Structure 1
Amino acid sequence: MQPVQDITDQQRAAIEWIVRLTPGSATEQDVAAFRHWCAQNPAHARAFVEMRRVWQAMSVAGGKIIAANAVPDNRAEPLPVHWLTRRAMLGGALAASAAGAGYFAFNPPLKLWPALPELTADYRTATGERRQITLASTSSIEMNTQTSIGLRANGPDGERIALLSGESLIQAKSRNLQVVAAAGTVSATNATFNIRRDGEKVTVTCLDGRVTVDCKAVVVHLANEDQVTYSDGGFSPALKIDASLVTSWREGYLVFEDKPLAQVIDEVNRYRRGRIIVANSQLSRRLVNGRFYLARLDEVVDKIKNAFGARVTTLPGGVLILS
């Protein structure tokens, strides 16, 4: 399965270029800088094309955000308004972009819709939804927002499921339960643990009992309030954590302590319909402390606006741009 990623640094930079290359204010120097950025990495051009497609899909609203965020530039004479539509200006950089409906089926831009593998899951929660399921072994799974779980054939070692995306709190009963997630497998009997998958990164937190995590032939044993993260590159060091912070979603709120705004927004986007995009690199690095209630997530934008002086522009479909 190809992972569904949150907004990347390349996508955020592409949005900044869309704002900067505003018809009527973009200069020759801007175009030269844009060409240089595309030439640095083919992924830059792909990100730009992807973000432009999102804007084009929003039609008139896309034009509104460009106009709202345009900064008058009197460094040089502006280019003609039709420059951005000329393929010659983009040169060969944009030719490297990934195209086609198949690509976006597995890689939704800005995670505006679920990826195809998630839609084929046996159990799935929508944005903001939670769901409780019970397996044949009576083990229970509390699924958080945007979570997809697939049932797998039981093996000699017990019951098996796959976490395709999202987060769940799992209470394993007397029969061994195995959870396959990305490159690893989590096993538990008579234990409670929280497991979260972000693309190919998986974080496991033991809440009660003992949990075993196996990734690429390396095994880590977790006790109460132990947490470990693994990915294709192996394990990160195990940590002792405050379990209440990990499971605060069950109580209806999120807690952040000195977290970059970009990370905070990525988390809020998991629970909120639409998408919040931070289109300013400096703003995305500002640190945030606070508790935000899931039932009142739109207050997050107001608090960011007041605390950091951010500009907020509203697009259809619940899309907000912070700049």
Structure 2
Amino acid sequence: MISQHLREQQIREEAADWAVRLSQGDPDPATAEALARWCQADPRHPEALAFAQATWDALGQLADEPAASDPPRRRGPRQTARPTTRSRRRWRWASGVAALLLVTVLGVDVGRPLLLPLLADHASGTGEVRRVTLPDGSEVELDSRSAIDVLYSDGERRVRLLAGEACFSVAPMGGDERRPFVVESAGGTTRALGTRFLVGERGHGAWVGVLEHSVAVNLEGVPGERVLSEGQSARYDRTQGIQPLLGLDLQRASSWRRGVLVFDRVPLAEVAEQLNRYRTRRLVITDARLARREVSGVFRLDILDEALDTLTHELHAQRLDVPGATFLY
């Protein structure tokens, strides 16, 4: 039986191959049918293909970037690069090889952070909470290691969440602004019916929480939509559909916006997972009993190392710091 790791690698290889094939132009009917079968065969296939295509496009666009000595230019609407010359074809081939290596050898989890500066219009670094103002006046707060792509058009204001978590404060429709505001993530969309909401990655899916007014959540391939009101939240993915998140405290879940992380009787393993989003040195819990210990507290993002000192003392744990990691046991 094929291992989970080998299966994930096989999916990435197949996705990279499809991305290269599709970059050559519109597929013939047989190829389109084969692609449809492949996408339907596993819920992970469409996500892997989308990432491989984004990688291909981003690397291809590097050929169009000005040299360091060139005067800056405004960035126009993003378009898929097309090979028009022999040098461009060579570049696209090199890009395809690079994309294949990054997606199959490094994998999505490692390759994506390296490529986010290429794929994203706006991205935040490790430990950084960043505020972005969009062209229509809407504001986005990016959590640590988060990224978005802004895809505004005449028909809608679309933002694609590429990684992490973000809070959207939407400029309402009215006057000259008639376009709906839509956030795309993990095969689903969240359409603003009000002003402020959260969208974040969760495994192979995403979660949505409404801080003010309401939103409409749609999942590709699932009929209908789920309307969430203020204080409500839901998660979605291609296997479970759209499911409510009961008992989630949105103020606590979005505490990173205030520069803190708040935990109330949360297992240390989950605390470590959250802290690792904000630290360059990974926190590893090596003792299973310690990992199950519950933690309550408020940790300031700007002094997480001090908070970790306090946590180690309160839990009577041992700590070992090595390059790139901190071990608690």
Normalised-by-shorter TM-score class: 0.5 to 0.7
1:320 maps to 2:326: yes
In structure 2, the CA distance between the partners of 1:108 and 1:243, relative to structure 1 (3 Å rule), is closer
In structure 2, the CA distance between the partners of 1:107 and 1:238, relative to structure 1 (3 Å rule), is closer
Structure 1 residue 305: deviation in Å? 2.1
Provide the residue aligned with 1:137 in structure 2. 136
Q: What is the identity, as a one-letter code, of the residue corresponding to 1:220?
A: R
Deviations 1:189-234 (A, max 9, x none): 4421111113423121111111111113342111111111112221
Identity over the aligned pairs, expressed in percent?
30
Q: TM-score, normalized by length of structure 1?
A: 0.63
Provide the residue aligned with 2:274 in structure 1. 267
Unmatched segments (≥5 aa) in structure 2: 8-100, 174-179
Provide the residue aligned with 2:195 in structure 1. 191
Structure 1 residue 101: deviation in Å? 5.8
In structure 2, the CA distance between the partners of 1:240 and 1:226, relative to structure 1 (3 Å rule), is farther
Counterpart secondary structure, 2:199? strand
Provide the residue aligned with 1:15 in structure 2. none
Provide the residue aligned with 2:38 in structure 1. none
Q: What is the identity, as a one-letter code, of the residue corresponding to 1:160?
A: R
Partners of 1:44 and 1:300 lie apart in 2 by: 35
Structure 1 residue 148: deviation in Å? 0.8
Q: What is the identity, as a one-letter code, of the residue corresponding to 1:105?
A: L
1:306 maps to 2:304: no
Structure 1 residue 314: deviation in Å? 1.1
Provide the residue aligned with 1:168 in structure 2. 166
1:280 maps to 2:287: yes
RCO higher in 1 or 2 (8 Å CA, sep ≥ 6)?
1
Partners of 1:103 and 1:280 lie apart in 2 by: 32
Counterpart secondary structure, 1:282? helix
Q: What is the identity, as a one-letter code, of the residue corresponding to 1:244?
A: Q
Greater CA drift, 297-306 or 168-177: 297-306
Q: What is the identity, as a one-letter code, of the residue corresponding to 2:183?
A: V
In structure 2, the CA distance between the partners of 1:159 and 1:102, relative to structure 1 (3 Å rule), is closer
Partners of 1:44 and 1:210 lie apart in 2 by: 39
In structure 2, the CA distance between the partners of 1:154 and 1:44, relative to structure 1 (3 Å rule), is closer
Number of aligned positions between the proteins: 229
Deviations 1:111-162 (A, max 9, x none): 9x82535642111100111222222222111111110111225363x21110
1:244 maps to 2:248: no
In structure 2, the CA distance between the partners of 1:182 and 1:101, relative to structure 1 (3 Å rule), is closer
Residue correspondence of structure 1 range 26-37 to structure 2 within 5 A: none
Partners of 2:223 and 2:114 lie apart in 1 by: 29
Q: What is the identity, as a one-letter code, of the residue corresponding to 2:225?
A: V
Greater CA drift, 185-194 or 232-241: 232-241
Partners of 1:180 and 1:45 lie apart in 2 by: 29
Counterpart secondary structure, 1:138? coil
Kept in 1, the 8 Å contact 2:194–2:215? The answer is: no
In structure 2, the CA distance between the partners of 1:44 and 1:203, relative to structure 1 (3 Å rule), is closer
1:225 maps to 2:231: yes
Provide the residue aligned with 1:26 in structure 2. none
Provide the residue aligned with 2:59 in structure 1. none
Partners of 1:160 and 1:127 lie apart in 2 by: 25
Counterpart secondary structure, 1:239? coil
Counterpart secondary structure, 1:164? strand
Residue correspondence of structure 1 range 1-323 to structure 2 within 5 A: 42-43=3-4, 102-108=103-109, 114-116=113-115, 119-152=118-151, 154=153, 156=155, 158-175=156-173, 176-215=180-219, 216-233=222-239, 234-239=241-246, 241-317=248-324, 319-323=325-329
Cα RMSD between the aligned structures? Answer: 2.8
Partners of 2:6 and 2:236 lie apart in 1 by: 30
In structure 2, the CA distance between the partners of 1:102 and 1:206, relative to structure 1 (3 Å rule), is closer
Kept in 2, the 8 Å contact 1:173–1:189? The answer is: no
Counterpart secondary structure, 1:266? helix
Kept in 1, the 8 Å contact 2:193–2:216? The answer is: no
Where has structure 1 moved over 6 Å in runs of 4 or more? none
Q: What is the identity, as a one-letter code, of the residue corresponding to 1:120?
A: L
Q: What is the identity, as a one-letter code, of the residue corresponding to 2:107?
A: F
Partners of 2:289 and 2:279 lie apart in 1 by: 23
Kept in 2, the 8 Å contact 1:108–1:115? The answer is: no
Partners of 2:196 and 2:183 lie apart in 1 by: 13
